Amino acid sequence: MLPENSLSTALNAKTKGLGTETIVFAHGYGTDQSIWDKITPFFAENYKVVLFDWSFSGAVKDKSLYDPVKYSSFEAFADDLITLLVQLELKAVTFVGHSMSGMIGCLASIKRPHLFKRLILIGASPRYINSDDYEGGFTNSDIEQLLVNIKSNYENWVSAFSLLVVDPNDGLSVKKFQECLNRMEVEVAVSIAKTVFCSDYRDILDKVETPCIIIQTSNDIVVPNNVALYMQKNIAGKVTSKVIDAYGHFPQLTAHHKLVEVLTGVLGL
C-alpha cells in the first residue's frame, strides 16, 4: 500500500488490468484521466493500465499541489512523472502522452530512459508558436489573445475553444471537454496555457532515444501536420508516424475506435 501522502495518491493514480507490461496514459491541458475512458477498456485485458491526473487538473483535490512558479516549465511535470513511476515500482512502460504530456514524456525519458520502453505521442508539439523556419500553428499575437480571452471571460472562452479543438459535430465530446475545463480554476487555466503555448522544446528532440510513435489526426488546429514531420525528422530514436482520419485534437474522444486500432497495431495486439 502506498502512503496517503504519496504523490501517486495525490494525483489520483489508478491501476487496472492484469498484464505483465504496463501502459501509462497521461492527459493534456484542461482535462483529467477520464479523457481516456473510451480507450482503456480495450487494453486492460492484456496490459496493466495506469491512469493519473496532473496537479493542475480540476480532478485533483489538493489545490495546493499546483504551484504556478514550479510548473512554469515541463521539467517539473517530467519530475512528477518519474516520481510516479518510481512510487508505483514501474519500469520499461509504454507511455501514452496526449498533447503537452507528449513532450513531458520525452523529457522524462531523457532523464530516466530505463523507465520507458516506448513513447506514444498523440497530438504532441515541441513548440506552438511559428518562427522564421518553423510552423507551430500560432503567431505570438494569437497566443497573447488566447491568454487575454481566458482571463477576461473564461466561460465564453471555454465554449469557443472547445468547438475549435474538438470535432463540433460530436456534441457529447465537446461537452466532455467543456466540463473538464470548467473544473479548472481560471488562474490555473491561464498559468498552464502560458506554460504550454509559450514552450519551446525543439532542442531536446535529438536527445530522445526511446522509440517513439507519433499519432496525429488529419485536421488538428492545435498541432499542424508539419509539426509531426518536424518531430519525426529530429527525434534521435526510431520514430513511426501514424495519421488518423479525424478532425480535432482529441481522437480519444471523437475517433476512439480508429485510435484503438492504431494503438493495438503499434503494440502488436
The set of catalytic residues is 99, 220, 249
DSSP letter, residue 138:
B
DSSP string, 7-69: HHHHTT-EEE---SSEEEEE--TT--GGGGTTTGGGTTTTSEEEE---TTSTT-S-GGG--TT
**71, 191 Cβ separation under 8 angstroms:** yes
Give the relative orientation of helices 154-165 and 171-182 as an angle to the nearest 10 degrees.
140
CA 37 remoteness from chain centre:
15
Give the position of cell 474522444.
Answer: 253
Q: How far apart are CA 62 and CA 76, in angstroms?
A: 17
DSSP letter, residue 206:
G
Distance separating the N- and C-terminal Cα atoms of the chain: 31
